[in-house]
Each structure stands twice: as C-alpha cells, then as structure tokens.
Structure 1
Amino acid sequence: MAVSAVFVLNACKEDEEVFPAPSVSAGTEASGVPGAKVNVTASISAPAGLKTLTVLKNGAAFDTKTYTANETSDNYTKEYTIENLAAGTAVNFTIIATDSKNQSSAPATFTVKSTAVPPKEIVTVKGVLTGNVTWSKSKIYKLSGFVRVGGDTTAVTAAGAATGTLTIEPGTVIIGERATKGTLIIQRGSKIIANGTATEPIVFTSERGVGEREAGDWGGLVICGKAANNLPGGSGQLEGSYKGWHGGTDDADNSGSLKYVRVEYAGVPINPNQEINSFTFGSVGSGTVLEYLQASYGGDDAFEWFGGTVNAKYLVSYRTLDDDFDMDNGFRGNIQFAVALRGATSADQSGSNGFEVDNDGQGTANEPFTSPTLANVSLIGAKQSQETFISTLFQNGMHLRRNNRIKVYNTFITGFPNGIYIDGATTAANANGGSLVLNNIVLAGVTGWGSNGYGQGAATQPQGFPVRDVNTATPAADLMIGTKKPSEWFAGLTGNKTVASWSTTGVSNSVFGTGRPTFTIIGTAADALNKAVTVPTLPAFFTATTYVGAFNDTDWTATWAEFNPSTVTYIK
C-alpha cells in the first residue's frame, strides 16, 4: 500500500503543467526637452498568469501594478515628465514582472534621454498695439522704447481712440531694451491680462545676462485707468511726461488683471530725477485685479498709485531703491498682505521709506483724498543689528504727510531709522480727527541701535524714533496731534505697541539677508506677532486674520517669487 501511494503522488507531480517564466520587452527609447511628457512602455507575457509589475526609475520606486484577472499579457504605459536635466542625461526605467507561480522575469530597461532646449525666439515689440494681441511663453518679447497698448495718449480722451487688450500666457518672459528705455504702458481704455500661475509666473526683467543686471536697466510696467484722482481737471500725465495720461470718473474701471507677475531691474530715469516705478498705477479702477506681484531691484518706487480705486493682495517689494509703497493723488484702494525687504546700501537721494503717502504734492485739500486702507503689511528695513551699516538716506517705515487720510491695520515695522513720521499740521489734524487711523501696529527696534533701538546709522546723525515727536527742521520743533505728542497718540490707539527688538517678535533673521527668506512666524517668541491680536472690523475685501504683519504660518511667496534674480538665466 505504501508503494502504491508513492506511485500515485509521483504520477500527480508528473501531470502538473510547467509554465515558463514571464518575459518583458521594453518599448523604444524616448527623448525630449525638460518639461516634455513621454510614455514609458513595455509588452509583458506571462503564460502562468500575471501577478505584479514593478517599475523602478534609476533604481528607485516609480510605479507598481497588480493584476487580479487571469491575464497572461499586458501592454504597459505610464506618463513621465522629463525633469530639468542636462542634455544627454539618461533616465533608466527597469521593468520586472512576476506571475502566479511567483516566477520573475528578467529585468527590461526603458530609457528616456533629456535633450537640449532650443533657444526661444526673441520678438522685438515697438510702437502701439491695438486689437487683441497674445504673447506666448514659447517666445521672449523685447520692449523697444515706449510700447503702448492702445492709442489714448492725449490729456482728454479723443473720440474713437484705438484700444487694445494684451494677453500674456503664464510662464512668458518679457525683457526691456536698455538702450531705448523699454517700457510697457497700458493706455487709458485698454487692458492687460497677465495671469501667471504659482508654478509659471510672468516675468518682466532686464535684457542683460547673469551677473550684469542692475536697477534701472529698463522702464517698467505702467497701467493708466479712468478712475478719479484729485489732479486739477481730473486728468494728468504720469511723472516723466511720456504720455501716460490717466484719470476720469469711472471708479469701477477695468484695466485687466495681473496675477503672479514679477518686475525686476526696472526704474530707468526718463528725465533727470524722474524714474519710472517698477509698477505704476495711474487712476486704475476697482474692476482691475492685482494679486501676487513682486517688484525687485527697481531704480525708483516698487509700487506707486496715483489716484484710483484698485485693490491689491500679496505684494512683494524686494530691495528697491526709493519707496516701497507710494500712494498719492487721491488713491482710495484696499491692500492686504504686503511685504517690503530692503538692501543695506540701496536708498535714494530723495530719502527712502516703506510707505510714502500724500494727498497730493502740495498737501492741498483736493478731493478725493488719498485715503487707502491697508492691512497685514510687514515693512522690514535694512538694519538687522547694531553692526549693520546702512545708508543714511533711509528714513521712515511710514512717512505720512501732506494731508493724507490713510488707514493701516495689523502692520509690523522694523529696521528703519524712524518707525512712523506724521508730517505736517493737516496730517496731524486728520490723525486727531480720526480720518487717519493706525491700529494694531507693532514697531520693533534694533538691539543697541541708539538708546531706544532707532537711529540713523552714524554717530553724527540725529537719533531716530519709534514715532517721531519732533520734525526734521533745524532746530527741530515739537510735533503735536491735538494735545498729545505723536508717540502718546499712537500708544493710545487700539492694539498699537512698541517692542525693544525685532528679535523677540518671531520674525526670522533671514528676512535681512539675500536669497529666499523664511517668512513664517515663530509662535513661541516672547512678542510673537500672532499672539493676543485684537481683530478689527474691516471692509469685505479683507481676509480676517489674527496676526500682525504679512505672514503667520503660511508663506504665500512660495514657488512664484524670486529672491535671487541675478542668478536666473532667462534667455536660453
């Protein structure tokens, strides 16, 4: 009986079918430029039935597939985006199949090679653009001289003046011609639709190469609108007399949309001491969208508003020469989430400020008053420590002067010789009467800089102030807001405070250096900007926040902003 059992068992084994191991045949090698999409392909055969498929990319896991049906073959395909690799670099995908008998195939290799990116065509643009014009990211556009969208270059809009709409694709690069002071001007009645993305911002920059760029290499981006201003007659030409006429009666005017746009190395002088700003907004209306904009290394102001009602969110002023945010001629828009970072020696002969705000150049009572509302701004001056040398041309975190009626909330200021200067009797009267408002403002000094954390950077210069209580005359005269010194008036308003040093506020010291800063706040700091903040009631435009300054735990500059543009190769 035992012998019979052995015979039967051996007969069963001899009858069991034996299957060959699976086999994999990789597809034809693929190639392309960085960013191109290709398919990794292979043909698989497994007579015993497929169980799993494993794909490795240069030895690391890339993809797996499990088979549940009794499949004996498969045509595998998987999309792969070629990474930013040097031309000729190979990426090898190893493909291995196993079958239901746990037999494995021999590895098969599918290769993808990166090829050189062909240089983009440079298209020189001149003169007036009318109708619908689109600029593609597949090309680079060079601004030669004053490039105008629309033909309204007169003080009073001529009947039938040609208009245009310029649409710029995400990822497009525009360069300004240095020799001709290349500038883009959106004339009154025309539009720009420049909506980049967080991963593909639109960049306006210098035509010069890496290591050669400097402030004032080209003009800048100018938008002229039809909203009201307080200029005589309601219409005016922007500084420099380059026919940038602006103004009207339509506060809801729509000049288009800017999202995820960078302007670098702008600010060329049109005439002596008349530079174009990185971003210039002349009487731009509230129908226009401004979000995620960065001005870097400009030769004048980073952002300037001449009248108008346009709103803005997420603004970055980086190492500009003159003022970061300049507002005058009846600007009445709302601004939230803005940051300014200064360079230690980059300051203008006119004096550099975080905010410079006027009703107009003469401080008249012309209406509409300059009366914007701002919230969640961080003004980071150049003075990191007592040892940091800064230009003596730096002045104030906020220079509020000439009869303006600004309202500012949840804002942080440090590193300037003076925190706030309320300049002039009419401005002081506005503050006393409640039409100029500062709430939830944190002023932070610099350890050891003068006796109070503020100063001018040199022993021969006068002492600075968190809030100036004397003017800049010689000899200095006391300033008063009603019956109070400005510092007493400031301290008596909701949420305002002065701390000895920025180092206790939760702000990273990286905001004073070059390269990408860490903007998020360290909440455990003694005077952290997200602690015990009174929440003001603001217009519907504003996002409710419970912190002071432009950031809390999220960096909204991530991926799209650039803090080292001198090293970026734009022309390839």
Structure 2
Amino acid sequence: MKRMLTRINLVVATMMAMLAVGTSCSKDDDSTPANPSVPGDAVAWSGTTIGDGSDAFEVKGKYVIKKGVYSLKGWVYVTSGSELYIEPGTVVKGDKATKATLIVEPGAKIFAEGTQAQPIVFTSAQAPGSRKPGDWGGLVICGKAKNNLGQMTIEGGLRTQHGGTDDNDNSGKIRYVRIEFGGYPFATDQEINGLTMGSVGRGTTIDHVQVSYSNDDSFEWFGGAVNCKNLVAYHGWDDDFDTDNGFSGKMQYLLGVRNPKIADQSVSNGFESDNNASGSTAEPFTSAVFSNVTFIGPIGQDAQFANNTTYINGANLNPNNGSRLGQFQAAFQIRRNSHLNVFNTVATGYPVGIMIENDKGSATQAAATAGKLTVQNVFFAGMTALGSDKNKTWLDQLSTDGTNLDATKPSFSNGYFSRTGGNNTNLAAIADLKLKQPNSTVASPNYGPSAGSPLVGKSNLFTNALLQDAWFDKVDFIGAFKSDSDADNWMKGWTNFDPQNTVY
C-alpha cells in the first residue's frame, strides 16, 4: 500500500544562518555554502529512518534532512512537485533486506549538496569489512528531458516513468556526493545502477560524484541532456559510464578505475554506448560529448592478471545475489547506432582498446566514417588488441555486421582509431604515459600525469565544433587531471577509496 507522509506542522525555528560570501578561482576551494539554500517552508525530517521498508513509500512536500546518520529502507519515491534537501556531512545507509533505493521522480527535485570537506555519503548499512556490491539499490533520478523511446519505465523494477520534451528540465543538484555498494540486480539486464539517470535535463547540476563498488554500471544515462563534471567510477561490477536512449549531455573530468578481479558476465567496459537496446535509428541519437576522461583498466594493476573467470573471482566481494562474474572487454564499446563523441581522453590496460560495432543491423561504422561519431585526441596504452568489431571476441579482425569475422583484415575499429586526422596514439607500454597508476589497493591514489608525460602541454585540443560550448574548460592536457600535483587533484578531500573499512 502506498503511504504518504503527513506534513509536520511545526515550522523549523531557525533554518539557516547566512554565510559570508567568499571568492576563489579554484574549482575545489570548498566554497559551497555550509548548508544548501533550503526554502523557508521546508520541514525538518522527523526521525533517523527514511522509508518504511515497503516498495512504495512516498515523500510529498518539502523536507530537509539535517546533518546526521540515517537509515534508508525500501523504495522511497520523491514525488512530482516535492523537494528533498540533504545537508552536507549527512550519511544515508541503505538497508540490505529491503533493497533500499531513493528515486527522484519527474517533476521532483533533490538538493544533495555536500562540500569538499563534508561530502554527503550514500552507503551500505552493513558493518565495515562485510560490505559488498548490491547491498542496496542506489540513487535514481528521473526527469522530463528527451529520449528516443518516449515515455520509458526506468529499469530495475521501479514504477517510475521518465521522458518528455524539456531538455532544460531541472531535477535539483548533486554535488560532493559518494554512492557506495549500490546497484541491486532486480532481474537479468534489469539492474539498478550506482547512479541511474533517466531523461535528466541540463537544468540539473551534477558534479563531484563518486560511485564505488556498484553491482552494475557505476553511472548510466537513459536519454536526457544533463551535463556532468568531476565523476569517479571506482571498482564497479559492469561498465563505468553507460549511455543509452539518445543521451546528449556534455561531460568533462571523469575517472574510471577497475578492480582487476571484478567484471560482469555481460563483459565490462569503460564506455558502453548504444542508441537504444534494439540498435534502431530512433532520434535523438545518443550523441553525448566526453572530454578529459582517464580510464585505468585491469591490465597493469596486477602482474598475475588473466582475463578469465578463474582469476576474475570477485575478490571476496561477490554478493551472490544473482549478479554474475565474467570478463573485461574494451575501454570504448560504441555500438547499436550510437553517435558517441570522445575527446582528450586516456585509457590504459584493457583487453581491447576500441570497439565500433555493427550489431543488431546497425550502421555504427558508417556513422563513424561520416563523422557522426568522433574519437579524437585519445591515448591508449597497454591494450592487448587495439580494436575489435564483434562483441566477446577480443580479436582485431574485420566484421561489418557484428557477427561474421574476416581474419585476413584488421578491424574497422583499428583503422578508425588510427585514421589520419584523428590525432590518436596507441602506446605499447603503460609506463610510456608517465601516468601515476597505483594498484587497486592504494587508499589515496593519484592518477595525474608526471612531468614529461605526453599527455600534458598540448594545444588545439578543443578545435572541434562539439567542444566550442563555453561549458567546457579549454585545457591543455589529455585525461582527467592536469598533473600529479596535489593542487591538481580534484578528488582531494571528498572521495574515499577504502569504503569497505570506513566507520560511518
């Protein structure tokens, strides 16, 4: 039975103290206000539990969750017209037994605005040392922007539909937020991700978000036009950044780091991009633009790495909840008529560098030839095969239909990456990048390039028309970080690379 919160008639006596306004040119100077701008008619949340354990608990109205530790139980829907504010430093623990999930529905808003010093954390309610991917559902945001299938029901078994015509739709603000151990698999190929976004509009703010140990994709966009900066996908089960259903947002400064012992049965990639599941030419095409991404693949993190299910055993983190272990595949998998665009990016240590795949009758390769998708100013290092055209083959051989292989010719994907004018580089050794690449157990990693790296001191990186928007910072380096200097580490202060053992 659906339950509706009764509005508390007690008005919060004192909502916020006005803060002095400071100025700084630094991206990460923690200039975010100590508390979000909560409206005067918002009501303080009562108690330390959010939800009642059912699959249909509804938040209706305007509420502020004051700084503290809370339990999230069941599927909690923030309904249309409602607003949920979460103060910096708040910790929300997802309940395992009820597959706790927080869903922001179209027309609703969430303002989870942490700070560099006081991030907001969504994590597992399990004790330190016993947390696993899929301990709870995750965070789902749905809006009214365009997708290429009209009204869609968000995957994962939830009730919520998303989609519309307003690419400027506003679902709120997510800043300085960590999401850990989410991503429950409701059914095969119907999983809740760490952060799932359905038709989210560009009026929404999403920056400085880390998703760790998701049981499916770390970040997935189903349509929409939201722009994002400073995202970290850490030790996810499936793909790092998955784009579908006409997603058209802009992305800059992203990091994806794999645990070499965790990969999905569906094969895990850095980028996985489809126009839609059927590979149709429905518009709008998936045409997101990514710039300044760093992928740290499994190869090179462990000298014993082998891309098989004997080695890839889950690293004692297998939740045994229906998710299946498998193998790693590609840094970039672009298929099913996707028109994805990737610039100024570096990827290391995947079995395959790039896949441009004509599966399901699609014409993805023709789109690449025609300039409708772009891979430019990209460095690969330590890839076993530069390109592949067929899913789950790991062979640099030509396929024009995603099914049959011609072993006498290199893959289309290889030729496209190496084309004249693409300014792409494939290096045999990861060390040639002079990129700090710690193994998967380093608690405070730094993935920036060292002095003398071929990734720094570049020019003409933003000449393509797709990068002319003022939203993009016009920087002179490839990858997510300017250098290995502490001052250039935008992850400092708010990320956590050992959530398994953190006491919350």
TM-score normalised by the chain length of structure 1 = 0.70
Gaps of 5+ in 1: 1-120, 151-161, 456-460
Q: Deviations over 1:432-475 (max 9, x none)?
A: 111101110111116xxx6x6899xxxxx97655xx64579776
Q: Deviations over 1:309-352 (max 9, x none)?
A: 00000000000000000001010000000000000111111110
Measure, in 2, the Cα distance between the counterparts of 1:479 and 1:252: 49
Give yes or no for the alignment of 1:556 onto 2:482: no
User: 1:20 corresponds to which residue?
Assistant: none
The verdict on how the C-alpha distance between 1:314 and 1:479 changes in structure 2, with shifts beyond 3 A counting, is farther
**Corresponding pairs, count:** 422
> What SS does the corresponding residue of 2:334 show, helix, strand or coil?
strand
Measure, in 2, the Cα distance between the counterparts of 1:503 and 1:559: 27
> What SS does the corresponding residue of 1:440 show, helix, strand or coil?
strand
User: 1:123 corresponds to which residue?
Assistant: 49
User: 1:194 corresponds to which residue?
Assistant: 112
Amino acid at match of 2:291: A
Equivalent residue runs for 1:224-303 within 5 Å? 224-231=142-149, 234-303=150-219
The verdict on how the C-alpha distance between 1:189 and 1:548 changes in structure 2, with shifts beyond 3 A counting, is same
User: 2:322 corresponds to which residue?
Assistant: none
Amino acid at match of 2:364: T
Give yes or no for the alignment of 1:499 onto 2:402: no
**Structure 2 counterpart of 1:180, from 81, 91, 98:** 98
Instruction: Decide whether the 8 Å contact of 2:287 with 2:340 is kept in 1.
Output: yes
Amino acid at match of 1:347: A
Displacement of 1:478 after TM fit? 6.3
Gaps of 5+ in 2: 1-46, 309-326
Displacement of 1:521 after TM fit? 1.1
The verdict on how the C-alpha distance between 1:409 and 1:294 changes in structure 2, with shifts beyond 3 A counting, is same
Q: Which moved more, 1:177-186 or 1:509-518?
A: 509-518
Instruction: Decide whether the 8 Å contact of 1:149 with 1:164 is kept in 2.
Output: yes
Q: Deviations over 1:511-538 (max 9, x none)?
A: 544322122211224xx31144432231
**Structure 2 counterpart of 1:429, from 347, 353, 366:** 366
User: 1:508 corresponds to which residue?
Assistant: 436
> What SS does the corresponding residue of 2:415 show, helix, strand or coil?
helix
Instruction: Decide whether the 8 Å contact of 2:357 with 2:402 is kept in 1.
Output: no
User: 2:336 corresponds to which residue?
Assistant: 402
Measure, in 1, the Cα distance between the counterparts of 2:436 and 2:354: 22
Amino acid at match of 1:497: T
The verdict on how the C-alpha distance between 1:469 and 1:496 changes in structure 2, with shifts beyond 3 A counting, is farther
Instruction: Decide whether the 8 Å contact of 2:194 with 2:218 is kept in 1.
Output: yes
Equivalent residue runs for 1:21-420 within 5 Å? 122-126=48-52, 127-137=57-67, 139-150=68-79, 162-231=80-149, 234-384=150-300, 387-392=303-308, 393-420=327-354
Amino acid at match of 1:546: D
Measure, in 1, the Cα distance between the counterparts of 2:287 and 2:375: 13
Instruction: Decide whether the 8 Å contact of 1:511 with 1:519 is kept in 2.
Output: no
Instruction: Decide whether the 8 Å contact of 1:204 with 1:262 is kept in 2.
Output: yes
Instruction: Decide whether the 8 Å contact of 2:245 with 2:275 is kept in 1.
Output: yes
Amino acid at match of 1:551: F
Displacement of 1:240 after TM fit? 2.4
The verdict on how the C-alpha distance between 1:386 and 1:285 changes in structure 2, with shifts beyond 3 A counting, is closer
Displacement of 1:166 after TM fit? 0.2
The verdict on how the C-alpha distance between 1:471 and 1:383 changes in structure 2, with shifts beyond 3 A counting, is farther
Give yes or no for the alignment of 1:489 onto 2:416: yes
**Structure 2 counterpart of 1:543, from 469, 473, 478:** 473
> What SS does the corresponding residue of 1:498 show, helix, strand or coil?
strand
Instruction: Decide whether the 8 Å contact of 2:387 with 2:414 is kept in 1.
Output: no
Amino acid at match of 2:148: N
User: 1:534 corresponds to which residue?
Assistant: 460
Measure, in 1, the Cα distance between the counterparts of 2:207 and 2:342: 19
**For the aligned residues, what is the CA RMSD?**
2.4
Amino acid at match of 1:564: D
Instruction: Decide whether the 8 Å contact of 2:354 with 2:387 is kept in 1.
Output: no
Amino acid at match of 2:108: S
- Larger Rg, first or second structure (1 or 2): 1
> What SS does the corresponding residue of 1:368 show, helix, strand or coil?
coil
Q: Deviations over 1:201-259 (max 9, x none)?
A: 0000000111010000000000010001001xx10101123112100111100000000
> What SS does the corresponding residue of 2:479 show, helix, strand or coil?
coil
Instruction: Decide whether the 8 Å contact of 2:111 with 2:174 is kept in 1.
Output: yes
Measure, in 1, the Cα distance between the counterparts of 2:364 and 2:408: 11
User: 1:104 corresponds to which residue?
Assistant: none
Displacement of 1:409 after TM fit? 0.5
Instruction: Decide whether the 8 Å contact of 1:125 with 1:141 is kept in 2.
Output: no
Measure, in 2, the Cα distance between the counterparts of 1:437 and 1:515: 35
Measure, in 1, the Cα distance between the counterparts of 2:301 and 2:213: 23
Displacement of 1:389 after TM fit? 1.6
Instruction: Decide whether the 8 Å contact of 2:434 with 2:450 is kept in 1.
Output: yes
Q: Deviations over 1:378-424 (max 9, x none)?
A: 11111116833244310000000000111110001111100100001
Measure, in 2, the Cα distance between the counterparts of 1:390 and 1:281: 33
Instruction: Decide whether the 8 Å contact of 1:411 with 1:442 is kept in 2.
Output: yes
Q: Deviations over 1:459-508 (max 9, x none)?
A: xx97655xx64579776236999xx9432332223321111111110211
Percent identity of the aligned residues? 41
Displacement of 1:547 after TM fit? 1.0
> What SS does the corresponding residue of 1:509 show, helix, strand or coil?
coil
Measure, in 2, the Cα distance between the counterparts of 1:324 and 1:296: 10
> What SS does the corresponding residue of 1:486 show, helix, strand or coil?
helix
Structure ranking higher in strand proportion:
1
> What SS does the corresponding residue of 2:366 show, helix, strand or coil?
helix
Measure, in 1, the Cα distance between the counterparts of 2:457 and 2:306: 31
> What SS does the corresponding residue of 1:348 show, helix, strand or coil?
coil
> What SS does the corresponding residue of 1:510 show, helix, strand or coil?
coil
Amino acid at match of 1:254: N
Instruction: Decide whether the 8 Å contact of 1:470 with 1:479 is kept in 2.
Output: no
Over 3 Å off, 4+ runs: 452-455, 461-465, 468-475, 477-481, 511-514, 531-534
Measure, in 2, the Cα distance between the counterparts of 1:192 and 1:215: 24
The verdict on how the C-alpha distance between 1:479 and 1:563 changes in structure 2, with shifts beyond 3 A counting, is farther
Amino acid at match of 2:416: W
Measure, in 1, the Cα distance between the counterparts of 2:215 and 2:462: 36
Instruction: Decide whether the 8 Å contact of 1:417 with 1:464 is kept in 2.
Output: no
